[in-house]
Structure 1
Amino acid sequence: MMQTQLNLTTMVRHAEKYFPDKTVISRTLGGVQTIPYRKITERIRRLAGVLKELGVKKGDRVGTIAWNHHRHLEAYFAIPTMGAVLHTINIRVSPDDLAYIINHAEDKILLVDEDLFPLIERVKDQITDVEKIIVMTDKDVLPETSLTNVASYEVLLEGADPGTELCEDIDENDMAGLCYTSGTTGRPKGVAYSHRGIYLHSLALGLKDTVGLSEGDIAMPVVPMFHVNAWGMPFAALWFGTTQVLPGPMPTPQILAELIEEHKITMAAGVPTIWLGLLQALENGNYDTSSLRCILCGGSAAPKGMIRAFESKYKIPFVHAYGMTETSPIVTLARLKSYQQELDEEERLELRSRQGMVVPGIEIKGINENGEIQYDGETIGELLVKGPWIADSYYKNDRSEDAFRDGWLHTGDVINIDEEGSVKIVDRTKDMIKSGGEWISSVDIENALMAHEAVYEASVIAVPDPKWQERPVACVVLKEKETLTEEDVKQFLEPQFAKFWIPDRVLFMEEIPKTSVGKFLKRALRNQVKEMLSLSDPS
């Protein structure tokens, strides 16, 4: 067989040759622009030329601090195709972690959105090795700053060569991207993505039984482009000629609903909190969402009630997926097999609420103290993953021994696998509740709570108990104008679970703390609950 390199340069060349008239619809602070792929690929070449002129060399890291828009998409391809490394930086980390990430990655250049420039101002004295900061803006003037190494993205591109040659000889195993975990425990850890991994992951996104992304789609990645490469969608979409709708800065549920209606979006991707917000927007407004062939949901388990609402009330197919920063991220998707279509509605819903089947190319297994778990839908164990787009260590080998052992990524997620091979995430290993020697899944209780029509969101944690070791406490946020008592919640749960699973306390809250990418931040929640319980303790 021919030894051809699987790299991003081949993707760009394919798009500019075969899909010049396809478009990127980009929402920025200046409005919404529609840009043909021929212009996008020209700008990719111009940006590659700019970076070369600035002294960026093979292997150098170039950081981006940006929303989902066309300039960020250009960086996705220009940086790796000139031999450098695209480092997408989480805009919602603390200033201390932001400086740490930039310094740990040794970023040479930063591409920063105009409205996010204050993030850099706060840490400017801590990132002294950054040589140039390029501001991405629609305006003719740059933000006021005391920094001297600042330039305009558009001005630089205007003076660059539109025919800049992209690197043809990039080794497929070279690093193309770098993304840091959200750092829920300790400092964020870097995950490096190779050209080969991104290429193969993109192919997997095009399979009919996975995401099925194609030229005919109009795709909107709501998941941030700084989070696991927006689940790889921008890479695959440009390569396949997919029309892309990039929702830009701070997209509200109403903005998303309007974009879906106006641009006839066929598929969108985001975390459960995004889709909970969209559901509320649909309930409060009148939007045409009939163009949607699916919503892709990942990041954490989606409650059955939300899946039922999208599919039954709004006729929007809902596809549950699982992955993580270390896996590029797609590992499993909840697609029904052909003969499962004949099951009744509740059985289909149960299957669709699981994380689903492993995608072709990836291997998984669950292990516990007794060895590998059985495919019986009951035995639980930690999920292990390996495959061509799965990381084999953390960047600079930081604490890699905690997660990468014997050729497998140990995910820290507790699962069961049913007879059909469908995976269900039961919990994180650190979030499982052990009460009186028996395990309780916080995720199962959370999903049950969020099926209640009055509940907006819910999270369950363990609190120490002198008799049972640990007991569950439920934290509940109600929808507007809804009321429930603690007893109401317990009575709702009682028919669904064994008695010892029912939370001892139900705490009603205005908001549940979340990570930068919308997952429940249980570390902060535990501290908050501890304080609330101590205040309510009459002793």
Structure 2
Amino acid sequence: MMDTPLLLTSMMERAEKYFPRKEVISRTASGIHRFTYKEIGERTRRLASALTKIGLKKGDKIGTFAWNHHRHLEAYFAVPCSGAVLHMVNIRLTQEHLTYVINHAEDKILLIDPDLVPIIEKIKDQLTTVQCFVIMSDEKEIPETTLHPAFSYEQLIDDGDPAFNFISDMDERTPAAMCYTSATTGNPKGVVYTHRGIVLHSLAIGLADTLGLCERDVAMPVVPMFHVNAWGLPFAAVWYGTKQVLPGPSFTPKILAELIEQEKVTITGGVPTIWIGLLKELEENQYDISSIRALVCGGAASPKGLIRAFEEKYKVPFISGYGMTETSPIVSLSTLTSEMDSLSLEEKIVIRSKTGLVVPGLDIRVVNENGDVPCDGATMGELIVRGPWIANEYYKDERTNDAFKDGWLYTGDIAVMDADGYVRITDRTKDLIKSGGEWISSVALENALMSHEAVYEAAVIAIPHPKWQERPLACVVLKDAYRNQIFEQDLILFLKGQFSNWWLPDEIIFLKEIPKTSVGKFLKRTLRDQWKHYYSNAE
């Protein structure tokens, strides 16, 4: 067999050659922009040329601090196809963590959206490796800034070479990109992705039994491009010639609904909070979203009520998935097998709510102190993963030994596996509730609460208890129409038929909103800190 390297260069070259007229729709601060892949390819080569002129060298780390738009997509390819490493910096990190990841990665150049410039200005004097800044504005004139030296993105690419040759003789294991975890505890951990890993991950999400991404699709990655490669959708979409819709800065559920309707989006991906917001918009206003063949949800467990609403009311297939920064990210998806065709809608919703079947190319196990757990859908253990697009270490971080053992990634997620091999994440190890020596799944309680018609969001946390070690406390946000109409006893009664009494939360606290992480997950650490003295104060 020929030993040809798997490189990102071939992905962009394929789009330029075979799909020059396919579009990338990009929403920026000034409005909607339309580019063909021929134009994107030329702009990407100009960017690679321009960055090389201002100092990019093979192996350098080049940071992006940006939303989902065409310039970010161009950087996705221009940087790694020039032999450097693209570092997608999470725009929602704290100043402390931003400074840490940029310095730890040793970013040499930062590409920044104009509305995000003030954030970097606040930490510029603490950045030890950055040599220059590129402002990704729609205008050629850069806004007034204290960053120095600062260049205009559009001016740079005007001066770049449209026929710039990508590096095509790299080893496929050359680093191409990197992201850092969102760090709920300690400093963020860096994960490096190779050309080989990205190409194989892109191939996997084009399989019919995974996401089936193809040329005919219109893909809208709502998950941020600074978070785990936007789940790999931008890379794969370029390779397959898929039309892309990039929703840009500060989008709202209304903007997403309009883009879906106008551009006939067929596949989109985001976290549950995004789809909860979109569902609310759909219930309040009229939109045609019938073009969607797959709404992909990850980052947290998908409430059954949310799945039911999209599947039953809007006839939109809802696919739950599982992955991590360390896994590129897709590990499993709740696609249905042929044996499940005859199941009832309710039975299918149960399967859709799981994190699904492992995708081809990866191996998974669920293990506890006794070894591999039985596939009974009840016995819990830690999910471990291995495969060609799974990281094998953290970048310059001693915590590698805690997560990577004997060729497996220990995810820290507690799961069960059923007889069909479908995985259901029951909790993070740190979020499990141990009450009276028995485990309670906060995720199961959250999903049940969010299936109630009055509940908008719910997070369940463990709080210290003088007798039982820990007890579950539920934090709930009601939908506007149900405020002052639904009370604690209503929700407790709703849960009683679904769980043993000792699983039920001792209290339900109603909040205006639940704090969230930088990527839209519930920030349980903040809630635990807020309510950790609940029982001691009560005494």
Separation of aligned partners in 1, 2:421 and 2:203 = 22
In the other structure, the counterpart of 2:89 is 89
Which residue number corresponds to residue 499 of structure 2? 497
Preserved contact between residue 198 and residue 389 of structure 1 (Cα < 8 Å): yes
Of the structure 1 ranges 250-259 and 461-470, higher mean CA displacement relative to structure 2 is found in: 461-470
The alpha carbon displacement at 1:528 in A equals: 1.8
Aligned counterparts of 2:450 and 2:95: Cα–Cα separation in 1: 33
Correspondence for 1:522? 524
Alignment of 1:13-162 (within 5 A): 13-162=13-162
- Distance in 1, matches of 2:159 and 2:346, equals 60
Structure 1 match to 2:514: 512
User: Within 1, Cα distance between the matches of 2:175 and 2:118?
Assistant: 29
Q: Map 1:161-172; keep pairs closer than 5 Å.
A: 161-172=161-172
Task: Decide whether the 8 Å contact of 1:189 with 1:398 is kept in 2.
Answer: no
**Which letter does structure 1 place at the counterpart of 2:222?**
V
- What residue identity is the alignment partner of 1:187? N
| C-alpha deviation, 1:347, in angstroms | 1.4
Q: Which moved more, 1:360-369 or 1:132-141?
A: 132-141
* Paired position in structure 1 for 2:400: 400
Alignment of 1:331-480 (within 5 A): 331-480=331-480
Q: How many residues align?
A: 537
Q: Which runs of 5+ in 2 are unaligned?
A: none
Q: Could you list the runs of 5+ residues in structure 1 that have no partner in the other structure? A: none
Aligned mates of 2:306, 2:334 — CA distance in 1: 15
Between 1:83-92 and 1:366-375, the stretch displaced more is 366-375
Distance, in Å, in 2 between the alignment partners of 1:533 and 1:213 is 50
Amino acid of the residue matched to residue 491 of structure 2?
V
- Alpha-carbon displacement from aligned partner over 1:444-480 (angstroms, at most 9, x marks no partner): 0000000000000000011111221111110000011
For the residue of structure 2 that corresponds to 1:496, the secondary structure is coil
Say whether the 8 Å CA contact 2:140–2:153 is kept in structure 1: no
Displacement of 1:398? 3.5
Q: What corresponds to 2:214 in structure 1?
A: 214
Q: Which amino acid aligns with 2:353?
A: S
Q: Among 469, 473, 487, which residue is 2:489 paired with?
A: 487
SS of alignment partner, residue 341 of structure 2: helix
Compute the TM-score of the two structures, normalised by the length of structure 2: 0.98
Give secondary structure in 2 for the equivalent of 1:421. Answer: coil
Distance in 2, Cα, partners of 1:322 & 1:312: 23
CA distance in 2, matches of 1:450, 1:198: 35
Q: Which stretch shifts more, 484-493 or 379-388?
A: 484-493
SS of 1:138's partner is: coil
8 Å contact from structure 1 (residues 386, 407) kept in 2: yes
d(CA) in 1 for partners of 2:177, 2:284: 40
Shift of residue 9 of structure 1?
0.6
Give the drift of 1:521. 1.0
Q: Distance in 1 between matches of 2:171 and 2:473?
A: 51
Amino acid across the alignment from 1:488:
D
- Residue of structure 2 in register with 1:233 after alignment: 233
Q: Secondary structure at the match of 1:434?
A: strand
| Cα deviation, residue 531, structure 1 | 6.1
Aligned partner letter, 2:488: E
TM-score normalized by the length of structure 1? 0.98
Post-superposition shift, 1:146? 2.4
Secondary structure of 1:99's aligned partner: helix
Report the secondary structure of 2:497's partner residue. helix
One-letter amino acid of the counterpart of residue 492, structure 1: F
Q: Quick one: which amino acid aligns to residue 354 of structure 2?
A: R
Deviations 1:234-282 (A, max 9, x none): 0000000000000000110000000000111111100000000000000
Shift of 1:213: 0.4
SS in structure 2 opposite 1:481? helix
What is the CA-CA distance between 1:481 and the residue it aligns to? 2.6
**SS of 2:79's equivalent?**
helix
Deviations along 1:113-152, one digit per CA (max 9) or x if unpaired, are 0111111101011014211100000124212122321000
CA contact (8 A) 1:323 1:332 kept: yes
Identity of aligned residues (%): 61
Letter of the 2:528 partner, please give it: R
Counterpart residue identity of residue 304, structure 1: K
Query: Residues 435 and 468 of structure 1 are in contact (CA less than 8 Å); yes or no, is this contact kept in structure 2?
Result: yes
CA contact (8 A) 2:133 2:148 kept: no
- 1:309 equivalent to 2:309? Answer yes
Is the contact made by 2:363 and 2:385 (CA closer than 8 Å) also made in structure 1? yes
For 1:196 and 1:400, the matched residues in 2 are separated by 21
